[in-house]
Amino acid sequence: MKILINIYSLFFFIITTSFAQKTYDHFKIQVDGLGCPFCAYGLEKKFKELKGLKKVNIAIESGNFDFKLPSDPEFSMKSAIEQVKKAGYTPKSAIIERASGTTETFPNLETKVLNSLEDFKTLSFKVQGNCEMCKARIEAKAISIDGVSKAKWSVASKVLEIETTKESLSEKAIGIAIASEGHSNSHAKADKQAYNNLPPCCNYKK
Amino acid sequence: MKAIVLLSLSFLFINCQPKKWQFKKELFLKDIQPIGITFIENQLWIADGESNRVVKIDSNGKIIDSITHLNRPMHINTDKTTIYIPQFGNDSILKFNVKTKHSSFLSTPSLDAPAGVSVNGNEIAIADFYHHNIHFYNGKKWSTFGKKGSKDLEFKYPTDIQIINNYIYVADAYNHRIQILSKEGTHIKTIGESFNMNASTGLFIHKKDIYITDFENNRILITNEKGESVQVLNTSIEKPTDIIIFNNHLWVLNFKKGSISVFSK
């Protein structure tokens, strides 16, 4: 009798544990520009405040940001990326391994195909920022703009260099877009809320 | 004769100048990303935030002991027997007795990512990163000083702290300066605003000189108590997070490289 009870208990334990393991979606996100430990670990800490979040971990060297959330197909890749951006990170790529067994991926923003047959022009102007995290954010925003094929921001000189194939794209339009991320520049002032949301190391002097 | 006198005077003058720190060597730490440094019983201990541990190292940088399962340890400090470890990730200060190996939590006001702690006899001070303030225990009770901002007695993400004699020195990291307070919480002085620092993340006070890690500018600034520049170090310095004088040498933690740059006079 005792043996039967033990077998049933073990069986019950295995079933419930299996259920528990299968109810989490695993997010693996590659973030860019991590350099300051206070910002990186601080943002990891803030992310932990998300309800149900499990096993949050960030590795500064590799830029790997890992966490698990209770399985919810409604929490899309787009939501995940927005959440990471809201916390101050700049995602490069992401994979979600759903509890259901499916996998979703987020493309790498840096890989934009340059059509060598198109003419391009180079623009450059100053953008305020402080650190590698600023660099990642500024460049990611710039390159997300339609027509921009390359973007490079220097931490030292604060100059953003853009390569664009779109004749009609102006520095001002790019500047406004970047200001929306919290970075004042030669063409536009930073959105106040976006600036206040920047992580500590990105709080450049206005 | 005149020449001899002149030469002698010059020689005397040169030797009376305070000696400067000279780069001696760089110790590469295996698998350690150092954030905080302290010493106890003539041994160096380093907070390794990436691996959630505090390690004891020998003079070659080799690990000889460790305290593990921490939660993002930052700028550590000691009294005669105990290492005080601010745990950035779980808002606590852990006390670890190096003799008994017993650990306990320090009773503190509510914290939000403590980044630095200083112990001076029965006095304790804590730099509270996300609260943008500091907490000071005078042996009888806790007081809290400061709030978020850029004016005097306001802080933007303070990361390190040190109690020296009658004052509390605060690394006001993202205001890019050092603030000096009285133990009653009044503002005494601000240092470093004219030096264009970019993230003054760590500090150490020694014989009235103030040593500051200028994180994003990859340098160490040394000022006197008036805030005047005494020396700037940038040889083999990369993303410095903390600094200490130990056994007459200056030890600088390079976070990104995982190394310690050692200077001597």
Q: The complex's ipTM?
A: 0.85
Q: Tell me how far CA of residue B123 lies from CA of A170, B42, B144, B154, B208, in angstroms.
A: 59, 22, 14, 22, 20
Q: Does A44 touch chain B (CB under 8 A)?
A: yes
State pLDDT tens for residues A126-151.
999 988 889 999 999 999 999 999 99
Asked if residue A90 belongs to a domain, the reply is yes
Give the sign of the dihedral formed by CA B9, CA B11, CA B12, CA B14: positive
CA gap A179, A187 in Å, rounded: 9
Q: 3-class DSSP state for residue A26?
A: strand
The CATH fold assigned to B18-264 is Neuraminidase (2.120.10)
Are B210 and B178 within 8 A, CB to CB?
yes
Residue at a domain's end among A106, A134, A155 = A106
Task: Return all residues near B87 (Cβ < 8 A) that are at least 6 apart.
Answer: B70, B71, B72, B73, B74, B93, B94, B114
User: Which chain B positions have a beta carbon within 8 Å of A203's beta carbon?
Assistant: 156, 174
Q: Between chains, do B130 and A61 touch, taking CB under 8 Å as contact?
A: no
**Enclosing H/E stretch for B4:** helix B2-16
Taking the CA of residue B85 and the nearest CA in chain A, the distance in Å comes to: 15
Asked if residue A134 belongs to a domain, the reply is yes
Same domain flag for A98 and A127: no
Closest by Cα among B23, B30, B118 to B74:
B118
Structure tokens at A8: 């049933």
One-character DSSP codes across A87-133: TT-EEEEEEEE-TTS-EEEE--TT-----TTS--EEEEEEB---SHH
Taking the CA of residue B51 and the nearest CA in chain A, the distance in Å comes to: 9
A20 or A94, greater pLDDT: A94
Q: Which of A45-59, A165-179, B69-83, B134-148 has the lowest mean pLDDT?
A: A45-59
Q: Between chains, do B89 and A41 touch, taking CB under 8 Å as contact?
A: yes
Grade residue A13 by pLDDT with cuts at 50, 70 and 90: low
Asked if residue A68 belongs to a domain, the reply is yes
Q: Which residue is closest to A202 within chain B, CA to CA?
A: B174
Asked if residue A174 belongs to a domain, the reply is yes
Q: Does A60 touch chain B (CB under 8 A)?
A: yes
Exposed/middle/buried for residue B187 (C-beta within 10 Å: 0-12, 13-18, 19+): middle
Give the sign of the dihedral formed by CA B167, CA B173, CA B178, CA B184: negative
pLDDT exceeds cutoff 90 at A72? no
- Identify the pLDDT of residue B162: 98
pTM of the model: 0.87
Give the residue carrying structure tokens 């953008």: A127
Are B178 and B191 within 8 A, CB to CB?
yes
How many CA atoms lie less than 13 Å away from A135 in the CB half-sphere? 16
Structure tokens at A16: 């419930």
Same domain flag for A183 and A147: yes
Q: 3-class DSSP state for residue B185?
A: coil
Q: Which residue is closest to A60 within chain B, CA to CA?
A: B50
Beta partners for residue B160, in sequence order: B171
Taking the CA of residue B10 and the nearest CA in chain A, the distance in Å comes to: 41
CA gap B233, B24 in Å, rounded: 12
DSSP annotation of B49: T
A70 or B134, greater pLDDT: B134
CA gap A76, B158 in Å, rounded: 36
Same domain flag for A135 and A176: yes
DSSP annotation of B195: G
Residue at a domain's end among A56, A81, A106 = A106
Q: What are phi and psi of B14, to 5 degrees?
A: -65, -40
Closest by Cα among B42, B44, B10 to B27:
B44
Taking the CA of residue B193 and the nearest CA in chain A, the distance in Å comes to: 12
| Type of residue found at B101 | K
The minimal CB distance from B50 to the residues A36, A60, A155 is found for A60
Which stretches of chain B sit within 8 Å of chain A by CB?
33, 35, 49-50, 72, 74, 88-89, 113, 115, 129-130, 156-157, 159, 173-174, 176, 198-199, 201, 215-216, 239, 241, 255-256
Residue at a domain's end among A48, A79, A106 = A106
Taking the CA of residue A200 and the nearest CA in chain B, the distance in Å comes to: 6
Same domain flag for A141 and A87: no
User: Which chain B positions have a beta carbon within 8 Å of A44's beta carbon?
Assistant: 72, 89
**Enclosing H/E stretch for B209:** strand B209-214
The minimal CB distance from B130 to the residues A42, A131, A155 is found for A42
- In A101-160, the residues whose Cβ lies within 8 Å of chain B are 130-131, 155
- Identify the pLDDT of residue B84: 98
Taking the CA of residue A18 and the nearest CA in chain B, the distance in Å comes to: 27
CA gap B230, B16 in Å, rounded: 15
Mean pLDDT of chain B: 95
The minimal CB distance from B156 to the residues A41, A44, A203 is found for A203
The CA-CA-CA angle for residues B159, B160, B164, to 5°, reads 155
The minimal CB distance from B129 to the residues A42, A130, A155 is found for A42
Mean pLDDT for each consecutive 10-residue tract of chain B (265 residues)?
78 71 96 96 95 95 96 96 97 97 98 98 97 98 97 97 97 97 98 94 96 96 96 97 97 96 97
User: Which chain A positions have a beta carbon within 8 Å of B74's beta carbon?
Assistant: 38
| CATH number of the domain bearing residue A38 | 3.30.70.100
pLDDT exceeds cutoff 70 at A15? no
The four Cα atoms B94, B98, B103, B107 give a dihedral, to 10 degrees, of -50
- Identify the pLDDT of residue B176: 95
The minimal CB distance from A41 to the residues B88, B216, B256 is found for B88
The CA-CA-CA angle for residues B235, B238, B244, to 5°, reads 75
Same domain flag for A28 and A94: yes
Q: Which residue is closest to B49 within chain A, CA to CA?
A: A37
State pLDDT tens for residues A108-120.
544 454 444 457 8
State pLDDT tens for residues B98-131.
999 999 999 999 999 999 999 999 999 999 999 9
- Identify the pLDDT of residue B15: 63
pLDDT exceeds cutoff 60 at A3? yes
The minimal CB distance from A37 to the residues B130, B216, B255 is found for B255
The CA-CA-CA angle for residues A90, A94, A99, to 5°, reads 135
The CA-CA-CA angle for residues B59, B64, B70, to 5°, reads 115
- Number of domains composing chain A: 2
Q: Which domain holds residue A149?
A: 121-202
* β strands within A127-167, DSSP E: 148-153, 159-164
| Type of residue found at B5 | V
